[in-house]
């Protein structure tokens, strides 16, 4: 389940079956959004609900299956519940009857592993009040707060909202600029945007739209051209562009068009810096030159989309990598946030897409197993720049604050 195109906090609700996880959503939203029942296991799969919470703003609540589910199907539901942890910014653990036992401890260990802040709601307080020892145990496990509550009598709902406001990390709200540190007031930025078989009918792709908006937000001027017109236009432009951003697929053509003194990069590399693990991309991209026959290369797509006959991730990048290395490589593509088909240590290289529809936290967590295992990671645009021989130029705009940038080239 991807976090979605909007940059808003994602909050997961966890707990045992029939603890009132779904019931909690309705008072938070101030309306009946969730189906609730006295029957344990009503929620069988993670359900995402977008809403506005007073004092916080737009959020996405993810209602999950019970962590005490049983049987073969129950274990699969628990696996789906745990998979949500790498996609959220904050967790709510719902308990009842002062129970913090094996199922809850398993979850809290996972929270710690993913460096995920969490609060605990002791629900059904009208049946049994929160005990001091339960509160102490929760805080010892690292809970940001523990609140006694009843969804039937939600008088202290504001206490929960205040705890959420305090516990949601600032990074969940922040969106770093794509180009803000590269341009100045009134600068012209030229965008080279091919209109080909992969371009959606009647509109631009999301990274191009995001770049245009970011340029305007930084009080600069966006000029959008197709690659056929780029050569003519750049020679006529006065003043000349302060920056040129191209689609990665025509990097070589753009490199020939844009004079060397004008900075050139790609939409995908901009996203790699804003949302990806850019430092590890810089370390990992040169490892492309070390690939050997039989190596497995993993390509991670952030979204699911219609696959064209010349798809960038499934067709072009595998073809370009094979041609560049001259090796017989094995490619595997995983879309969305699906599980990997094999252990991460089986791969010689991991290539992440731009990630325009997910957040930096999701990408970092997606790549975390590879980074921890010492597997090189890179990004679509950076990999394409490397195999097309223009990598140093494509990343140069972002190395001005990097000590010894030559180590990444």
Give me the residue label for tokens 């965008």. 191
CATH class of 10-172: alpha beta
> Stretch 259-264: mean pLDDT, rounded?
95
Domain boundaries of the chain, sorted by first residue = 10-172, 188-269, 277-408
Q: Rounded mean pLDDT of the chain? A: 86
> Stretch 271-285: mean pLDDT, rounded?
91
> Stretch 41-46: mean pLDDT, rounded?
53
Does domain 277-408 correspond to CATH entry 3.40.630.30?
no
**If residue 298 lies in a helix (H) or strand (E), which one and from where to where?**
strand 296-300
CA distance 135 to 120: 9
CA distance 197 to 305: 13
pLDDT of 405 > 70? The answer is no
- pLDDT score for 40: 47
> Stretch 191-207: mean pLDDT, rounded?
75
- pLDDT score for 14: 95
- pLDDT score for 377: 98
| Radius of gyration for the alpha carbons in the chain, expressed in angstroms and rounded | 24
- pLDDT score for 297: 97
> Stretch 365-387: mean pLDDT, rounded?
94
- Least confident range of 51-60, 271-280, 330-339: 51-60
Give me the residue label for tokens 């001005």. 400
- Greater confidence (194 vs 327) lies with 327
pLDDT of 1 > 50? The answer is no
> Stretch 236-252: mean pLDDT, rounded?
91
> Stretch 370-385: mean pLDDT, rounded?
95
381 closest CA partner among 291, 264, 249 = 249
pLDDT of 183 > 80? The answer is yes
DSSP state, 42?
A: -
CA distance 74 to 249: 44
- Full-prediction pTM beyond 0.75? no
- pLDDT score for 175: 61
Phi/psi of residue 122, nearest 5 degrees: -90, 95
CATH class of 188-269: alpha beta
pLDDT of 38 > 70? The answer is no
pLDDT of 4 > 50? The answer is no
pLDDT of 191 > 90? The answer is yes
> Stretch 15-28: mean pLDDT, rounded?
86
User: pLDDT-derived band of residue 295, with 50, 70 and 90 as boundaries?
Assistant: very high
> Stretch 49-72: mean pLDDT, rounded?
84
Domains 188-269 and 277-408 share a fold: yes
User: pLDDT-derived band of residue 31, with 50, 70 and 90 as boundaries?
Assistant: low
Phi/psi of residue 396, nearest 5 degrees: -55, -40
Taking a C-beta distance cutoff of 8 angstroms, is the pair 112, 162 a contact?
A: no
**String of b and e for 226-256 (b: at least 16 CB within 10 Å)?**
ebeebeebbeeeeeebbbbbbbbbbbebbbe
Query: What is the CB neighbour count within 10 angstroms for residue 328?
Result: 10
CA distance 321 to 331: 10
User: pLDDT-derived band of residue 155, with 50, 70 and 90 as boundaries?
Assistant: confident
DSSP string, 344-392: GGGEEEEEE---TTS-HHHHHHHHHHHHHTT--EEEHHHHHHHHTT-HH
pLDDT tens for 213-238 read 999 999 999 999 998 899 888 888 88
CA distance 143 to 146: 7
pLDDT of 387 > 80? The answer is yes
Strand partners, 300: 334, 352
- pLDDT score for 199: 58
DSSP string, 138-198: HHHTT-S-EEE--SSS-TTHHHHHHHHHHHS-GGGT----SSTTT--TT-EEEEE---STT
């Amino acid at each position: 389940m991807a976090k979605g195109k909007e940059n808003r906090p994602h909050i997961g609700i966890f707990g045992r079956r029939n603890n009132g996880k779904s019931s909690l959503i309705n008072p938070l939203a101030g309306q009946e959004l969730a189906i609730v029942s006295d029957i344990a296991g009503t929620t069988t799969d993670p359900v995402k609900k977008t809403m506005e919470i007073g004092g916080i703003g737009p959020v996405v609540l993810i209602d999950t299956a019970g962590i005490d589910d049983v049987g073969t199907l129950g274990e699969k539901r628990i696996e789906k519940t745990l998979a949500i942890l790498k996609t959220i910014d904050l967790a709510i653990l719902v308990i009842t009857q002062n129970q913090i036992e094996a199922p809850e401890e398993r979850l809290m260990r996972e929270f710690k592993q993913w460096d995920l802040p969490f609060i605990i709601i002791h629900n059904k307080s009208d049946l049994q009040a929160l005990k001091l020892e339960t509160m102490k145990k929760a805080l010892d496990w690292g809970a940001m707060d523990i609140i006694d509550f009843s969804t039937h009598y939600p008088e202290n709902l504001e206490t929960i909202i205040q705890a959420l406001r305090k516990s949601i990390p600032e990074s969940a709200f922040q969106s770093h600029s794509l180009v803000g540190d590269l341009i100045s007031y009134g600068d012209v930025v030229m965008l080279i945007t091919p209109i080909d078989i992969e371009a959606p009918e009647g509109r631009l792709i999301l990274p191009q739209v995001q770049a245009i908006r970011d340029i305007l937000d930084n009080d600069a001027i966006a000029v959008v051209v197709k690659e056929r017109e780029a050569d003519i236009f750049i020679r006529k432009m006065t003043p000349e562009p302060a920056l040129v951003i191209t689609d990665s697929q025509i990097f070589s053509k753009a490199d020939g068009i844009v004079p060397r003194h004008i900075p050139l990069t790609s939409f995908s590399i901009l996203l790699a810096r804003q949302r990806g693990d850019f430092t590890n991309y810089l370390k990992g991209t040169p490892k492309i030159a070390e690939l050997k026959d039989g190596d497995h290369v993993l390509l991670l797509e952030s979204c699911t989309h219609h696959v064209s006959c010349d798809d960038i991730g499934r067709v072009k990048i595998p073809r370009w990598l094979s041609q560049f290395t001259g090796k017989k490589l094995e490619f595997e593509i995983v879309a969305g946030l699906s599980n990997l088909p094999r252990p991460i240590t089986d791969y010689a290289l991991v290539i992440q897409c731009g990630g325009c529809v997910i957040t930096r936290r999701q990408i970092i967590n997606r790549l975390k197993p590879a980074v921890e295992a010492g597997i090189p990671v890179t990004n679509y645009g950076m990999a394409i720049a490397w195999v097309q021989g223009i990598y140093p130029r494509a990343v140069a705009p972002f190395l001005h604050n990097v000590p010894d940038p030559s180590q990444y080239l």
